[in-house]
Amino acid sequence: MHHGPHPIPRPPLLLRDLVPQIHPPLLRPKSALSLPPRTSKPAIIVSAGDESHVQAAVICAREAGFQTRVRSGGHDYEGLSYSAYSGDAYPFITVDISSLRSISFDSGRDSAWVQAGATIGELYYAVAKEHPTQAFPAGLCPTVGVGGHFGAGGIGTLMRKFGTSADNVLDARIVDYNGRLLDRRAMGEDLFWAVRGGGSSGFGILVAFKVGLVEVPPVVTVFNVNRLLKQNATKLVARWQEVAPALDVNLFIRVIAQARTEGDGNQTIQVTFNSYYLGRQVQLLAKAKRAFPELGLTAADCTEMTWLESTLFFNGEQGKPPEALLDRKPEFNSSFKAKSDFVKQPISETGLKQIWTFLMEAKDEPLVLIMDPMGGRMNEIAEDAIAFPHRKGNLYNIQYFMRWFERDEATTRRHLDWMRSLYAFMTPYVSTNPRTAYYNYKDIDLGRNTKGKKTTYSIAKAWGEPYFKDNFRRLALVKANVDPENFFWNEQSVPPIHGKQHALD
């Protein structure tokens, strides 16, 4: 295998000259020659049909004075892969790599190369069709692109047994700011460390990953158990906090909580215990009875299926054929906002009741709390093993997720303000110093780069430390080495840390 940098394509003199060379063709929403000094949308979208197109786009963008962003599956929670905050960003292009989606398997059956434009669903489908008792640990939404997902860590239902997606990345190919295509050996271990959990789009454009596949049984068992407040939902969640992170690593039980209106018009909280077990139903029932008898799990609650079918179950598509995983169209045609937290100490029943009350008092706020347990393998991997830092000491992750269909500004503002008030309300119950967050649940409220390339490392700590904890400093040093001009910039990318600033911060 060739381990050196791949040849750099000779660039056209101007970015517009690249147009006839790219297939599919470039899309040009605006003329590159009549741009305002700041723009909220890309001047040009490069739809890359080959990894060499990415190299050429980077070289041309630098020559033409554009910054560069990358779009894989288009699921960036703040839309930073294809839009910018007006007044803050320099003109930029977006390199769309969604057509780079090939998946190939090594002869040894234990690894695969997947291009960064493939979706999680396409990867799941390809792995299971090639090796029915193999899988890969990643997230629950099948339309998410692997480029952004792996680059920020990639948590999911298999993480308690196998770690994050990034923990299982063995090699990668990245286009750096000089337009070179580098594999692990050529990029070096510092950059390879950074792009596994450090938000890869700020260091270059990742175009492919070599991933290690994991073994799963021929049959897994899934269940959904719903409980309302009058069915002891609060006590069950209180107990779940103690049980779920310490369970057998083959058993993953997450909690989904939301306010709902009962038939009598009263508000309540519905809690769903959404789970699967890597094994047969009879084994699951025995383990659940022993570890979490309060849940009252029965055989009628359980369904046996293949691991591939379980990926549809967790996306709310149980019963659909596996080919549904190949549908790349995102499900959302609405606005949404998300935030995240990590919980290190169990929330008391009193605290849970206060949270439920907060949710129920806001009758028109369509919020869902999603709580994913950690523990297991996540406790065994050091915080600095890769850039993703959220390891031992975390009981579970919370995603606060809200979506709405109204388009008017007043409704949007009301939803955003309420989400922020909930986030403030949750402060006593979650991690501190820093209050941590998951980079794939990107939240611009934590802070952002402003004035183009001028944000300092000290200012960037406001979001860098919540996302990356103590790994943020090393990420900034890597950034200074591989992208000193801050060419790969967005509102929450890692800034480079240089010389005197390194000594002071």
Distances, alpha carbon 173 to alpha carbons 4, 54, 97, 225, 459, in Å: 11, 12, 13, 42, 31
CATH classification code of 220-305+332-440: 3.40.462.20
Pairing of strands 169-175, 205-212: antiparallel
- Contact indicator for 93, 66 with CB cutoff of 8 Å: yes
Higher-confidence residue of 207 and 75: namely 207
Position 383 scores a pLDDT of 98
pLDDT at residue 299 above 60? yes
Position 40 scores a pLDDT of 80
Strand partners, 112: 105, 211
pLDDT at residue 291 above 80? yes
Task: Tell me the per-residue pLDDT of 272-282, one tens digit each, with 9 for 90 and over.
Answer: 999 999 999 99
Q: What is the mean pLDDT of residues 79-100?
A: 81
Ramachandran area for residue 352 (φ above 0: left; ψ -120 to 50: alpha; else beta): alpha
Distance CA 390, CA 378 (A): 8
Position 355 scores a pLDDT of 98
Q: Is 153 exposed, middle or buried (0-12, 13-18, 19+ CB in 10 A)?
A: buried
pLDDT at residue 7 above 90? no
Percent of the chain with pLDDT over 90: 74
Distances, alpha carbon 18 to alpha carbons 31, 90, 288, 445, 478, in Å: 14, 21, 59, 37, 30
First to last CA, the chain: 41
Structure tokens at 235: 């006590």
Torsions phi, psi of 395, nearest 5?
A: -80, -45
Distances, alpha carbon 424 to alpha carbons 165, 340, 341, 428, in Å: 30, 12, 11, 9
- Contact indicator for 137, 156 with CB cutoff of 8 Å: yes
Nearest partner of 498 among 465, 454, 463, judged by Cα: 454
Instruction: Give residue limits of the domains in the chain.
Output: 15-96, 220-305+332-440
Handedness of CA 382, 149, 397, 135 (dihedral sign): negative
Task: Tell me the per-residue pLDDT of 339-358, one tens digit each, with 9 for 90 and over.
Answer: 999 999 999 999 999 999 99
Across the beta sheet with 251-261, the strand order is: 302-305, 220-228, 267-277, 251-261, 367-373, 396-404, 335-343
Position 78 scores a pLDDT of 76
pLDDT at residue 93 above 60? yes
Position 213 scores a pLDDT of 98
Q: What is the mean pLDDT of residues 332-343?
A: 88
Higher-confidence residue of 19 and 143: namely 143
Position 37 scores a pLDDT of 38
Q: What is the mean pLDDT of residues 94-120?
A: 95
* Biggest CA pair distance of the chain: 70
pLDDT at residue 500 above 80? no
pLDDT band at 95 (very low <50, low <70, confident <90, very high): very high
Position 499 scores a pLDDT of 58
Distance CA 65, CA 62 (A): 5
CATH classification code of 15-96: 3.30.43.10
Distances, alpha carbon 241 to alpha carbons 238, 335, 429, 431, in Å: 6, 31, 13, 15
Grouping H, G, I as helix, E, B as strand and the rest as coil, residue 483 is coil
Task: Tell me the per-residue pLDDT of 20-74, one tens digit each, with 9 for 90 and over.
Answer: 333 333 333 332 323 333 448 888 999 999 999 999 999 999 999 998 999 998 8
Torsions phi, psi of 488, nearest 5?
A: -90, 85
C-alpha 453, offset from chain centre: 25
For residue 49, give every residue at least 6 positions away whose Cβ sits within 8 Å of its Cβ, in sequence order, or none.
22, 23, 24, 99, 100
pLDDT band at 14 (very low <50, low <70, confident <90, very high): very low
Q: What is the mean pLDDT of residues 501-505?
A: 48
**In the predicted model, what is the mean pLDDT of the chain?**
89
pLDDT band at 76 (very low <50, low <70, confident <90, very high): confident
pLDDT at residue 228 above 50? yes
Task: Tell me the per-residue pLDDT of 171-218, one tens digit each, with 9 for 90 and over.
Answer: 999 999 999 999 999 999 999 999 999 988 899 999 999 999 999 999
Pairing of strands 92-96, 44-47: parallel
Distance CA 479, CA 463 (A): 16
Report the amino acid identity of residue 443.
D
Position 451 scores a pLDDT of 63
Task: Tell me the per-residue pLDDT of 403-443, one tens digit each, with 9 for 90 and over.
Answer: 888 888 899 899 999 999 999 999 999 999 999 999 999 99
Structure tokens at 206: 């990742």
Task: Tell me the per-residue pLDDT of 138-148, one tens digit each, with 9 for 90 and over.
Answer: 999 999 999 99
